[in-house]
Structure 1
Amino acid sequence: MTPLLFLIITTLIAYTIGRFTSAAAKHGLAPWPAAIRYGLAVMFIVTGISHFVGMREALIDMVPPWLPGAPALVTVTGVLELLGAVGLLLGPTRLWAASGLELMLILMFPANVHLALTGENLPWDDHLLPRTLMQVLFLAAVLAVIIPEIRARRGARRHRESDAAKRSGAATDPGVPTDPSAP
């Protein structure tokens, strides 16, 4: 539940700052995808740190027994979460980071199922249905970053292609002679 709270609270704060502060709006903080991106970054920083401090043993216990090297898996996923969080905030790496985090959320879901099915005296939010719903929400939040990023990149590529076609249009247009001395 804590990661969900970090996601929601940070997203709302980022959106509010972007919406009501002109300087932040100029830097693209106002739209929801940007606010969600900040929320996800904070969430993954908090969860990434928990792979090393505080919850490490509980996370190791969550790893299904059929997966080898539970401590190493927890370490690797913690590092990936931290790298992904930073990558979400950097334009050139945003799409790769979001895509990697999306894949990681899918691959880590069996650990959530394992905990829900085998854990004892679990808090309500560690039971299968709440954990599944939270995971779906996390996946949707990451998609809310991926989809606009893909659209923006496609739009930028179309714009570049259009500009290139305009610049070379006279030379490639069959109706326009390429030789200025031609009739």
Structure 2
Amino acid sequence: MVPLIALIGGFIALRLVGVAGVEALDGWQPALRGGLALMFVTTGVPHFLPSWRRDMAAMIPPAFPRPELLVMITGTLELAGAAGLLIPSLAPIAAICLALLMLAMFPANISAARRGLTLGGRPVTPIPQRTALQILFIAAAVAAAL
């Protein structure tokens, strides 16, 4: 739920700042890109925290080698994408790359839910809710790219 709150809360806050007169944020798309960036910072940083990294590594199907390294790579990609969203000339490609990354990581989320894993001491999001969230997040990234 934290990523959803970051996305929506960041979007609303930045949109209000734009309406208040900050020209760079005066529009739905810059606010959306900022909300997405905040979301990816909140999801990317835990990839580097040891206990979260272990939980995330457990989500990766066993066929993939070096799951902790994969977790760190995906965290790096999330943070790089978040930075890219904040640079207007890079924002469209960053948004598309993040949408593709979310698509690539979705099977691990489904696998984790099926196996009843935890993330940060809490059960992972159930499949129906995770699917709805994933669709929303990918749609937001695509909208940010346009």
Fold shared by both chains (TM-score > 0.5): yes
Q: What corresponds to 2:144 in structure 1? A: 145
Residues 120/109 of structure 1: CA separation in 2 closer, same or farther (3 Å cut): closer
The CA deviation at 1:121 is 7.2
Contact 2:117 2:124 (8 Å CA) reproduced: no
Letter in 2 for 1:17: V
Map 1:18-33; keep pairs closer than 5 Å.
Answer: 18-19=18-19, 21-22=20-21, 24=22, 26-27=23-24, 29-33=25-29
Give the CA deviation at 1:34. 1.2
> Which AA in structure 2 matches 1:127?
P
Give 1 or 2 for the bigger CA radius of gyration: 1
- d(CA) in 1 for partners of 2:9 and 2:31? 10
2:126 is the alignment partner of 1:127: yes
Q: Deviations over 1:56-108 (max 9, x none)?
A: 11111111112221111101000000100000000221122111101100000
Which of 75-84 and 111-120 deviates more? 111-120
Shift of 1:30: 2.3
Q: What amino acid is aligned across from residue 46 of structure 1 in structure 2? A: T
1:45 to 34, 41, 47: 41
Task: Write the distance in 1 (CA, Å) between the matches of 2:118 and 2:104.
Answer: 25
Larger RCO (CA under 8 A, 6+ residues apart): 2
Consecutive unaligned residues in structure 2, runs of 5 or more? none
RMSD: 1.7
**Which residue does 2:2 correspond to in 1?**
2
Q: Distance in 2 between matches of 1:30 and 1:143?
A: 19
Number of residue pairs matched by the alignment: 143
Structure 1 segments of 4+ aligned residues over 6 angstroms from their partners: none
Residue segments in structure 1 that go unaligned for 5+ positions in a row: 148-183
CA distance in 1, matches of 2:118, 2:38: 29
> Aligned in 2, Cα 1:140/1:115: closer, same or farther, shift over 3 Å?
same
Aligned residues: percent identity?
39
Pair 1:112 & 2:115 matched: no
Q: Deviations over 1:125-168 (max 9, x none)?
A: 61100111111110011011112xxxxxxxxxxxxxxxxxxxxx
| TM-score, scaled relative to structure 1 | 0.73
Q: Give the secondary-structure state (helix, strand or coil) at the position aligned to 1:51.
A: helix
Distance 2:107 2:91 in 1: 26
Name the residue aligned to 1:36: 32
Distance of 1:34 and 1:56 partners within structure 2: 31
* Residue in structure 2 matched with residue 89 of structure 1 by the alignment: 86
